[in-house]
Structure 1
């Protein structure tokens, strides 16, 4: 059986009709002649749904494999399939934030002939998508872009174009960050009243740190930064106080500013020996020219020096800073000794405000669950310490001194140990009593006279968003290890990670799910490549309900079924 077409002439022209027919032998004519079994009607009025139902009904008479072979085009070959959904969604957000236009705009020279930035923009997007979906080295990223992902407008790429794009990104970082923030603030209606800032470090597996070079006050090599007035000498990957517990390896320091919704607005890099006490001033100065409303800086205890607090108060800014409970400063002692009742607030927390001076307010926060956890940990430490020092009175002075030195290397145990004038080792019960009064507590200092104690406490608690950002940067986006050797490319690598985190946070904010879950579902949407005598095309698999829900929450249209069509050369 086959489909036969007949033509008829009428007033409007030639009309084609479709019939289901088969050939029968005609003895009189001595040849096979077509016999019509069913008429589908006019071709331009064909009921295609009815045809689909007929084909499906006939397919039930065959085995599944035979039915698939019978309905598939015999001259069409399936070539390959790659994940499509992740890059499709990231690319839509990239364009919604107008980053493609920003890249083209900041890449134009102030004078002279305009340059075509299309290729550079596509490479940068591909590198950002790689950090979000399958983080790898630039060599592996080029292979991923070419063979394992669908990047609109970029079929394949080599290693060198990736490096050239990163070198260009380093040159325009400041302008790009400013314009991206403006677009994000407009898209998400950001009201930047609380700005959270924190630093981390990432290490490099090097035998020796970088050679010292002359740097300006921002940590950039002379000639890279806008201000060459105060020069110092330092390498970039150098030894410092590691936050990854790898003091034995060279590192760099990375800072990030995040809104209360977890949106990262900017990133910085410094040499590995830069201190938290200094970097906060550069951060505040560089954020001063951005289009921000009044800012309350929220930082942890590393930025609590008097000089830093005075610097943060300049202009129309304020701060919320964590204080070290065990600092021993007169202000902290006075705040902790004040009597007063706690006020219950949300999220299992109690607060008590204490006013010590005209410029600063102290808020003591108490978490009952944390208090129970602190007590449990202290009990375990004291029990273990008792076992260590049991019967040490019988040891020689040398052996006791040796044990004392080992315990001194363990701050948790050493806190509860005291040594008598005779050199005997004892549990410090007075210290235990002092620590009991600090269970579940942390102390905050705020310079804003209008914020309530509850807002101060909950605002500081949101500093966890920055910590979550660092965790995602290191685990999901894979900030470490860094394979680059040149300082410019290391800085560009951090910016790529920041852009990936920005897109991820927007997806999480708008969908109410984690990026890990969203990525897993989106990457199940594939683009298959088929080839045949007429050419090659790519077709997207059908959307599942979870995929449709994610696209609906993000306001992203469904992808076209056929996304690319390349006719065969004639």
Structure 2
């Protein structure tokens, strides 16, 4: 009678692992090793059973009652996930930047596994099978984060990582708001313009990333500060820290203020920003007059736009060809690139039709007016603004870009392509808001808020680093690696550690990360 391993489903839904022998047609249980409640525990118990048998025995799945347990699961550890996260953290130089602060490291990496409060960090870390720092240690780390200026050192580490692996001639900048569930304002948290139309106190957060979305600088300002006024301090701070003189900054139309563009130009920096559609009629008036407003898919119009106001005095409407922007010949203008896309036209036209329908409903009295586009008041009555609607439809499909980079240095196609890289910084903001849940923020002091943003930036750097290496999001990576646990069990005083079975997806992640380890 040769003993074999038997796996039995119990009434509670667990899987009992036993060593049994055949006696006639019956199975006699020789030893019950324990009951597994997940794949990791099951693998460990089977491994322990194999260790007690001679090599080559069969593993059978049979149903039946389970005797009492003879093995104890001592520990489970998501070692592969933890090694991947800590490996990326250290490879980026963040451990050195934070002076080996274990509490800070656990707060950063916990955000990648399960975004939650600082109070919950020990639970998240312990669920990975790692010894967590105490809550007191974590909050002391928050204090050290500010007094030790971790932010500057982490930003320096991020800069070294980017300069060692890619081109830093172009950076992307955007801003967002983080709100607080607080009733009163203070020196930093102010009620201001909210894109989500919230009335809670908020702060303005600016994020500067490289062209691939890897974070370089993060900063925050009072919630009632104009977003346009954050650009210059951020760029100047980065240029001073990096020592980079020749830099092109890409930002969306929200940063398009005359003062911002003048300041960037005077500082010797290049810029590419989105143009407001209100500038299109004047910028393209001559083109429409000479060529009409029928545009081909992919058509680009490279022209000039006034630095201030909407009327250009440097564009000669009597000339058929568009002027080639030159800073000496056109000191009152910037270069403007307008591009037409049939796909964008279809999207814009659909939006305009929906807006027209809402406007008609308001005019007819079927809807209550609430800042409805294309509704105007004439002689006390609300009417459809036919002229504004026609003008909007004429410009559907167009997108404009403003820059101070001459065509001899950067062709229009490259200007457009560079601007479209902005989705990387938008994606990074989405990661910091949703995947990493930087908001809402419950901290109550200026230093705590600054420390929180430093943690978010460090977590974003690790997430971006892993995403660029593996091609999958940090959420997918955690979901794939976390269940792969090594399990330690004790049987009759002897400890056995079973390694998890590596899935094909996990193996691909390991293979993708191998080049980064060298």
Same fold (TM over 0.5): yes
Counterpart of 1:441? Answer: 398
Q: Superposed, which structure 2 residues align to 1:58-457 within 5 Å?
A: 58-59=57-58, 76-104=71-99, 118=100, 121-145=101-125, 147-151=126-130, 155-171=131-147, 172-187=149-164, 189-210=165-186, 235-246=187-198, 248-289=199-240, 290-292=242-244, 294-326=246-278, 339=291, 349-356=298-305, 358-359=326-327, 360-390=334-364, 406-407=368-369, 409-410=370-371, 413=372, 415-421=373-379, 423-449=380-406, 450-457=409-416
Q: CA deviation at 1:419?
A: 2.9
**Comparing 431-440 with 326-335, which one deviates more in the overlay?**
326-335
Instruction: Give the total of aligned pairs.
Output: 442
Q: CA deviation at 1:550?
A: 0.5
Query: Following the alignment from structure 2 to structure 1, what is the Cα–Cα distance between the partners of residues 364 and 295?
Result: 44
Q: Unaligned regions of 5+ residues in structure 2, if any?
A: 3-49, 306-324, 328-333
Query: Following the alignment from structure 1 to structure 2, what is the Cα–Cα distance between the partners of residues 463 and 557?
Result: 26
Give the 3-state SS of the residue equivalent to 2:192 in structure 1: coil
Deviation by residue 1:97-122 (Cα, 9 ceiling, x = unmatched): 22222322xxxxxxxxxxxxx4xx22
Matched, 1:549 2:517: no
Q: CA deviation at 1:536?
A: 6.0
- Relative contact order higher in (CA < 8 Å, ≥ 6 apart): 2
Q: CA deviation at 1:343?
A: 9.8
Q: CA deviation at 1:331?
A: 5.7
**Comparing 168-177 with 75-84, which one deviates more in the overlay?**
75-84
Q: CA deviation at 1:77?
A: 2.1
Counterpart of 2:36? Answer: none
Give the 3-state SS of the residue equivalent to 2:277 in structure 1: coil
The answer as to whether partners of 2:295 and 2:340 remain within 8 angstroms in 1 is: no
Query: Following the alignment from structure 1 to structure 2, what is the Cα–Cα distance between the partners of residues 526 and 184?
Result: 31
Give the 3-state SS of the residue equivalent to 1:326 in structure 2: helix
Query: Following the alignment from structure 1 to structure 2, what is the Cα–Cα distance between the partners of residues 426 and 444?
Result: 33
Q: CA deviation at 1:238?
A: 1.0
- Inter-CA distance 333–184: structure 2 relative to 1 (3 Å threshold): farther
The answer as to whether partners of 2:280 and 2:400 remain within 8 angstroms in 1 is: no
The answer as to whether partners of 2:97 and 2:150 remain within 8 angstroms in 1 is: no
Give the 3-state SS of the residue equivalent to 1:463 in structure 2: helix
Query: Following the alignment from structure 2 to structure 1, what is the Cα–Cα distance between the partners of residues 506 and 493?
Result: 32
Deviation by residue 1:114-158 (Cα, 9 ceiling, x = unmatched): xxxx4xx2221111111111011011112222x31244xxx1322
**Ranges of 4+ aligned residues in structure 1 off by more than 4 Å:** 62-66, 327-344, 532-539
TM normalised by structure 1 equals: 0.70
1:518 to 463, 467, 477: 477
Matched, 1:471 2:448: no
- Inter-CA distance 453–296: structure 2 relative to 1 (3 Å threshold): same
Q: From the CA coordinates, give the structure whose radius of gyration is larger.
A: 1
Deviation by residue 1:246-284 (Cα, 9 ceiling, x = unmatched): 1x1100111101111111111111111121222112112
Deviation by residue 1:534-567 (Cα, 9 ceiling, x = unmatched): 6767654122221111111111799xxxxxxxxx
TM normalised by structure 2 equals: 0.77
